[in-house]
Amino acid sequence: MTDPIIAVEHVTRQVSDSTGTLTILHDIDFVLRPRESTAIVGASGSGKSTLLAIIAGLDLPTLGTVRLAGTDLFALDEDARAALRARKLGFVFQSFQLLGHLSALENVMLPLELLGRGDARAKAAEMLRRVGLGERLNHYPRTLSGGEQQRVALARAFVVEPAVLLADEPTGSLDFATGERVMELMFAMNRESGTTLVLVTHDRSIAARCDRQLHIEAGRVVS
């Protein structure tokens, strides 16, 4: 059997304040195989976005760990985790997270430049054409529609050819029709690139398009 690309090992996340300790995630344990698409499904406040942040190494578990391509994320220091993320992960967020002072082309070039790629401009332009924005290369985010901004975000995520794409409610800021088009594009690009997809959503119709679903309630995987 293929080795896991992601192994979440008994992850618990707790936060404490003056009122006591709140457990956000309770002993989460699962593996994801290469090319697998998985939806993490749950209501608002169930812990699914916290889980995604821990998978990315952006948040620290109280107990347990995550292995990405066999590497224990939390045995690394912050700089080493960031370097591993840059090589292995792509991200798509609900709020797009584009840099407003950069053009569409420059936004997509950025992760390639951080990796020291000399072909950043050509690769970014090619990817923007792939998502249907070949005529928008020099447009800034403020001049793009929500759907166009999310397509730039998809181009930025896929341009580094990540092993894993992490998507957090990628259609949450879009109207239904635009969201449908963005999801069709994301799933098509995911199939073509052979990326492992981890998709956080509360939309069960979107989740049903994934190979598997993890349902979270009150910080626990229930199915």
* Cβ atoms 47, 221 nearer than 8 A: no
- Taking only the tens place, the pLDDT of each residue in 34-76 is 999 999 998 888 999 999 999 999 999 999 999 999 999 999 9
pLDDT category of residue 223 using cuts at 50, 70 and 90: confident
Is the pLDDT at 12 greater than 80? The verdict is: yes
| pLDDT score of 1 | 61
Is the pLDDT at 2 greater than 80? The verdict is: no
Q: Tell me the pLDDT of the chain averaged across its residues.
A: 92
Report the distance separating Cα 194 and Cα 197, nearest Å. Answer: 9
pLDDT category of residue 143 using cuts at 50, 70 and 90: very high
Contacts of 63 (CB under 8 A, 6+ apart): 10, 11, 12, 27
Contacts of 160 (CB under 8 A, 6+ apart): 86, 87, 90, 111, 112, 115
| pLDDT score of 17 | 85
Say what the pTM is.
Answer: 0.89
- Taking only the tens place, the pLDDT of each residue in 191-210 is 888 999 999 998 888 999 99
- Taking only the tens place, the pLDDT of each residue in 82-106 is 999 988 999 998 888 999 999 999 9
Q: What are the CA-CA distances from residue 35 to residues 9, 42, 71, 76, 162 (Å)? A: 20, 23, 18, 25, 11
Report the distance separating Cα 212 and Cα 36, nearest Å. Answer: 8
The CA-CA-CA angle for residues 136, 139, 144, to 5°, reads 85
pLDDT category of residue 126 using cuts at 50, 70 and 90: very high
| pLDDT score of 146 | 92
